[in-house]
Chains A and B, each alone.
Chain A
Amino acid sequence: MRSDAPQSEALTPAAPVAKSRWVWPRTFLLLLLLLSAIVFGTGLGSVNIAPGEVLGALWRGLASQFTGAELISNDVIVWQIRLPRVVMGVLVGASLSVCGGAFQGVFRNPLADPYLLGVASGSALGATLAIVLDWPRALIPVSALVLALLSVAVTLSLAREGRRFPPTRLILAGVVVGSVLSAATTALILRGEDRARQVLAYTLGDLGFSGWRDVLTVLPYAALGCGVLLLLARALDTLQLGDLTARSLGVPVERLRLIVVIAASVATAGAVAYVGIIGFIGLIVPHMVRLAFGASHRILLPLSALLGGALLVYADLLARTSPLSQVGIVTTLLGGPFFLWLLRREKEI
């Protein structure tokens, strides 16, 4: 730790320690992992395309943006279907992981994930409403987004205590809002049971129809939310020393908590609205990074973005080339046992 290292570090075992010497080589390693994910993610699928052809297709796709030339056959698959799908995977994986890391930091709770405040159940309700009431398909993510943000607002107002947002109240309020919304979703599904499969597919998370337009819609939410969180990394580090210490070190704890919660919810809501609920990525990626690279948020958050992006693209690749069929199933099926293994290995995460 450098000059801003808290004085009381020795007294607080949870204090973040950066293994700074190894940061750059490891960042490089993660960048390679992400790059490989993008290459495999674009090349493999129900139609396998040779790396050379992928590169050619990328070039022709890029060129077509300027020349307006029409793409054919495999070029269409690479440029209009796979690449946006992969980019969406990177965006969503990175957002969920950064938000998860920030939530775990701001609540000082290793079980926190981006869905903690009811974003997932809110967006599920929004999507279900749109599907069951047969709204135009383009309105599904909009409705999901609106309800996701609304549910966070409700959670925040329920948890508010004067001008403060105590972590325990936030978590409890999030659980309650989540349960109530899930009940409403279930009731709706039963009313429109012939669409139950569609709703189920949405709630299991799917990158299937992500096109460039969706990527461009999600991008601002991800950039804004994650950008704010990355800027707050240093303050999050200080917060690990406890509210009192952080306050005495000049961190406006309550305002910080509120800003982190809002920024993370905006990024998560944007992602969830367009690709559905993808479990466990936001929970386990920060833990993996913390184990391997240390707990300082200035390292944790950006590296979580790289690892999360790469892992989600690989998970999606597995999803579309195996009978597991949906990325949310893959992440949960693999993420759950992994988290348990982590739990046993670390005793206290």
Chain B
Amino acid sequence: MKSILTLTFALASLAGATTYPLTLTDDLGRKVTLKAEPQRIVSMLPSDSETLCAIGACDKLVGVDDYSDYPQQVTKLPKMGGLYDPKIESIVGQRPDLVLVSKYGKIVESLAQAGITVIAVNPETYEEVFSKTLVLGKIVNREAQAKNLVTGMRRDIAKVEILTKNAVKKPTAYYEVDPTPYSIGPNSFMGVLLTKAGARNIIPASMGDFPKVDPEFIVKANPQFILGVDAKTAAARPGWSSLTAIKAGKAIELPGNLGNIFSRPGPRMPLALAQMAKIIHPELFR
């Protein structure tokens, strides 16, 4: 009997099964214990929703935040509000046994008081996209799938990187998050992707991960690519019409929902990278 138990246990751990109760420290530094495998999950972060679905736990989701829009399946789930206006009553009403939240909201307290298990899983850096995927895998008992996903993502990213790494010329690029203008530093996960796509980011690391940029800095840097701004808007900005990127027609509004995918630290990162690399180095993908 004992040996059977041991065997089952060994098999289970070989398959990567999580043993509950599971205690872990979340991204808010809280110690949280999961008593059993969660069956009713609310995800308040679009990237967490995507990751859960990518590791085969989509059917455990019973609610998502307003901005979760991928995959198709999650768009049909009840909407639980956003970061600043979460609908706490709707969340509680779903009787979740786990709510995944961002580091920045303010719902942890109220949900915890309602007796609901809350875990902050909030990937921010490039490497965290992978490590948090594994954390999520452990939480929902999909460790093997999470490992496979991470391996697949790393492989797909490497496929692009092999091409861009040896590109003869790496053009300079400015990526605009919003027209304030905010941009991305090279150490942010988007900045890492931009570099891997074979571009040289004009924003130095010293300016931070999501800096507000002085427009004249961009003019001085004179990038060869302006990403996230359409040509007409860019050319209309004071002093921009003479920029190299605009003259060469390389001021580009990102096609389709690339801007959306590119800004999401989740399983579609390799896809975003491949699309970005095609924009910056079309010659490598012929």
Whether B238 pairs with A212 at a CB distance below 8 angstroms is yes
CB nearest to A140 among chain B residues: B179
- Kindly identify which residue among B82, B212, B217, B238 contacts A325, using a CB–CB cutoff of 8 Å: B212
Q: Which residues of A contact B212 (CB under 8 A)?
A: 201, 325-326
Q: Which residues of B contact A211 (CB under 8 A)?
A: 237-239
Whether B220 pairs with A208 at a CB distance below 8 angstroms is no
13 extra interchain contacts, Cβ-Cβ under 8 A, other than A198-B180, A213-B238, A326-B212?
A: A45-B216, A47-B220, A72-B242, A73-B220, A77-B216, A79-B239, A81-B238, A137-B233, A193-B84, A197-B180, A201-B180, A211-B239, A212-B238
CB nearest to A47 among chain B residues: B220
Whether A45 pairs with B83 at a CB distance below 8 angstroms is no
Bound-state Cα–Cα, A194 to B181, Å: 14
CB nearest to A214 among chain B residues: B238
Bound-state Cα–Cα, A210 to B238, Å: 7
A178: CB under 8 A from chain B?
A: no
Task: Identify which of residues 189-215 in chain A touch chain B, using a CB-to-CB cut-off of 8 Å.
Answer: 189-190, 193-198, 201, 206, 208-214
Whether A84 pairs with B84 at a CB distance below 8 angstroms is no
Q: Which residues of A contact B67 (CB under 8 A)?
A: 194
What 0/1 pattern do residues 312 to 327 of A give for CB contact below 8 A with B? Answer: 0000000010000110
Whether A71 pairs with B238 at a CB distance below 8 angstroms is no
A3: CB under 8 A from chain B?
A: no
Whether A76 pairs with B82 at a CB distance below 8 angstroms is no
**Shortest 8 CB-CB contacts between residues of A and residues of B:** A211-B238, A80-B239, A201-B180, A46-B217, A81-B239, A190-B85, A81-B216, A76-B239
Of the A-B pairs whose beta carbons lie under 8 Å apart in the complex, a sample of 29, sorted by A's number, is A45-B214, A46-B217, A47-B216, A73-B220, A77-B216, A79-B239, A80-B238, A80-B239, A81-B238, A84-B238, A138-B236, A189-B84, A190-B82, A190-B85, A193-B82, A194-B67, A195-B178, A197-B178, A197-B182, A201-B180, A208-B180, A208-B214, A208-B215, A209-B237, A209-B238, A211-B238, A212-B238, A214-B238, A320-B214
Q: Looking at chain B's contact residues, is the secondary structure mostly helix, strand, loop, or mixed?
A: loop
A82: CB under 8 A from chain B?
A: yes
A: which residues have CB within 8 A of B?
45-47, 70-74, 76-77, 79-82, 84, 137-138, 189-190, 193-198, 201, 206, 208-214, 320, 325-326
Task: Identify which of residues 13-49 in chain B touch chain A, using a CB-to-CB cut-off of 8 Å.
Answer: none
Q: Which residues of B contact A71 (CB under 8 A)?
A: 242
Bound-state Cα–Cα, A325 to B233, Å: 23
Q: Which residues of B contact A79 (CB under 8 A)?
A: 239
B: which residues have CB within 8 A of A?
67, 82-85, 178-182, 212, 214-217, 219-220, 233, 236-239, 242
Whole-angstrom distance between the Cβ of B111 and the nearest chain A Cβ: 19
Bound-state Cα–Cα, A42 to B94, Å: 59
Q: Looking at chain A's contact residues, is the secondary structure mostly helix, strand, loop, or mixed?
A: helix
Whole-angstrom distance between the Cβ of B102 and the nearest chain A Cβ: 12
Bound-state Cα–Cα, A211 to B240, Å: 10
* Contact status of A190 and B214, CB under 8 A, knowing A71-B242, A198-B179, A198-B180: no
Whole-angstrom distance between the Cβ of A336 and the nearest chain B Cβ: 22
Q: Which residues of B contact A84 (CB under 8 A)?
A: 238
- Kindly identify which residue among A46, A73, A76 contacts B214, using a CB–CB cutoff of 8 Å: A46
* Contact status of A76 and B242, CB under 8 A, knowing A197-B180, A208-B215, A211-B237: yes
Q: Which residues of B contact A210 (CB under 8 A)?
A: 238
Whether A76 pairs with B233 at a CB distance below 8 angstroms is no
Bound-state Cα–Cα, A208 to B237, Å: 10
Whole-angstrom distance between the Cβ of A41 and the nearest chain B Cβ: 12
Q: Which residues of B contact A196 (CB under 8 A)?
A: 84
Q: Which residues of A contact B217 (CB under 8 A)?
A: 46-47
Q: Which residues of B contact A47 (CB under 8 A)?
A: 216-217, 220
The interface centre, meaning the residue of A46, A71, A195, A198 with most chain B CB atoms within 10 A of its CB, is A46
Whether A193 pairs with B216 at a CB distance below 8 angstroms is no
Bound-state Cα–Cα, A320 to B212, Å: 10
Whole-angstrom distance between the Cβ of B95 and the nearest chain A Cβ: 26
